[in-house]
């Protein structure tokens, strides 16, 4: 059966259909008026703040040294990385954990910069720089800059340990360290001589790339016998062969110098060139480790263990009997003195004519 109730209104809308949209609009308006105005940034900020608080980062009130202040900055930066929060939230989260003297400093600084309005534009880099300026006096800053300019790898540390010191100082000096490429070049020139020799003509994008290459060279030398020891704690032949090579070069240099005696300037020039090449050989080789017996660095087995001569290394004599000692020094090759006692005799007549006790002369 056909419904004829809406006949004549097929192309239009009924009165009931017109009322329904108006009712929905009224309900939506009523709900909107009842709810507070919600800001999306505030919602995100609250979520990040709650997540940051749940991680329980350390608070900061004061620092006895610049290192403590830098350690706290590194500490909160790890939480920023975990949360993945944007740069606009980092300064707010960090200041939320300030207490005591640090909080008083920040309140005064924020008030001088414009109050809460300043917080909306304060980036993490700006906060960190202001923080370092407050806890890093000019004298400390200048000391860090001098140390950074002269930093180099120590003999008792590998390239990874050297990189940690380098990156710590570079974070203290700020813009003076330059970009990643400039830091890589500065780091490379501070490596040990025998490591730098292999990387001299190589360019790197950052410090990490330099460290990877340098560490590979160090591991190669460690695995090829340069710093190996046997069960007795004595260095193996790897470095000894290198030291023998240097000794041979020295001997050849002495022979060349003796042949050129009397030629004046030519002698000095050629010997100087030879000395520079010899210095380059020394800088290429890794330094020998410290001997556990005598505490001195030497590539050959310790003479205190083998009983060898400290001058030439022979086991047939001691150093005081060494035939290779300086001719100007007294040398005793005959061994210990064998001088015997002296005997004096007298006849019976001589004894009878002598009064008193007869003593030896």
Per-residue model confidence as pLDDT tens digits over 64-81? 777 888 889 888 888 888
Tokens read off for 118: 């300043």
Residue 94 counted as domain residue: yes
Burial category of 320 from C-beta neighbours within 10 Å (exposed 0-12, middle 13-18, buried 19 and up): middle
φ, ψ for residue 97, nearest 5 deg: -100, 10
* Other Cβ atoms within 10 Å of 8 Cβ, number: 7
* Other Cβ atoms within 10 Å of 214 Cβ, number: 25
Residue 248 counted as domain residue: no
Among the candidates 167, 189, 223, a domain finishes at 223
pLDDT at 18: 47
C-alpha distances in Å from residue 287, one per residue of 193, 234, 299, 311: 10, 15, 9, 21
Instruction: Output the average pLDDT for the chain.
Output: 72
Q: Domain check: are 161 and 210 in the same one?
A: yes
Q: Domain check: are 121 and 182 in the same one?
A: no
> How many separate domains does the chain show?
2
Q: Which helix (H) or strand (E) holds 20?
A: helix 15-34
Q: Domain check: are 52 and 123 in the same one?
A: yes
Residue 65 counted as domain residue: yes
Residue 82 counted as domain residue: yes
pLDDT at 281: 46
Tokens read off for 299: 């590539």
Q: Domain check: are 192 and 166 in the same one?
A: yes
Q: Domain check: are 199 and 168 in the same one?
A: yes
Domain range enclosing 168:
139-223
Q: Domain check: are 173 and 123 in the same one?
A: no
Residue 316 counted as domain residue: no
- Please state, in angstroms and rounded to a whole number, the distance separating the CA atoms of residues 269 and 287: 28
Among the candidates 167, 188, 223, a domain finishes at 223
22 pLDDT above the threshold of 90: no
Residue 347 counted as domain residue: no
Residue-wise pLDDT tens digits, 245-267 = 555 555 555 554 554 455 444 44
Residue 281 counted as domain residue: no
HSE toward the beta carbon, residue 258, CA cutoff 13 A: 6
Q: Domain check: are 196 and 161 in the same one?
A: yes
């Amino acid at each position: 059966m056909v419904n004829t109730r809406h006949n004549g209104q097929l192309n239009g809308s009924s009165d009931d259909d017109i009322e329904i949209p108006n009712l929905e609009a009224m309900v939506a308006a009523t709900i909107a008026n009842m709810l507070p105005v919600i800001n999306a940034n505030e919602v995100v900020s609250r979520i990040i703040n709650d997540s940051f608080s749940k991680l329980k980062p350390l608070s900061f009130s004061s620092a006895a040294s610049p290192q403590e202040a830098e350690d706290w900055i590194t500490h909160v930066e790890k939480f920023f990385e975990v949360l993945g929060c944007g740069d606009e939230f980092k300064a707010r989260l960090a200041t939320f954990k300030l207490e005591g003297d640090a909080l008083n400093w920040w309140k005064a600084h924020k008030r001088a910069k414009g109050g809460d309005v300043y917080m909306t534009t304060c980036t993490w880099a700006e906060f960190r720089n202001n923080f370092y300026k407050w806890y890093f006096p000019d004298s400390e800053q200048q000391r860090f800059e001098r140390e950074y300019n002269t930093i180099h790898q120590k003999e008792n540390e590998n390239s990874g340990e050297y990189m940690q010191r380098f990156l710590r100082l570079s974070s203290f000096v700020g813009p003076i360290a330059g970009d990643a490429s400039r830091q890589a070049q500065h780091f490379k020139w501070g490596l040990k001589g025998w490591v730098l020799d292999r990387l001299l003509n190589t360019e790197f994008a950052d410090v990490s790339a330099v460290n990877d290459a340098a560490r590979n060279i160090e591991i190669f030398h460690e695995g090829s016998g340069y710093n190996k020891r046997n069960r007795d704690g004595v260095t193996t032949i790897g470095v000894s062969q290198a030291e023998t090579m240097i000794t041979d070069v020295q001997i050849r240099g002495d022979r060349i110098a003796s042949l050129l005696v009397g030629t004046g300037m030519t002698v000095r020039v050629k010997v100087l060139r030879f000395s520079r090449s010899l210095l380059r050989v020394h800088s290429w080789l890794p330094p020998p480790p410290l001997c556990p017996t005598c505490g001195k660095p030497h590539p050959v087995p310790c003479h205190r263990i083998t009983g060898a001569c400290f001058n030439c290394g022979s086991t047939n004599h001691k150093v005081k009997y060494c035939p290779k000692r300086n001719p100007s020094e007294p040398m005793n090759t005959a061994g210990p003195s064998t001088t015997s006692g002296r005997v004096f005799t007298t006849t019976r007549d001589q004894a009878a004519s002598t009064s008193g006790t007869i003593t030896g002369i």
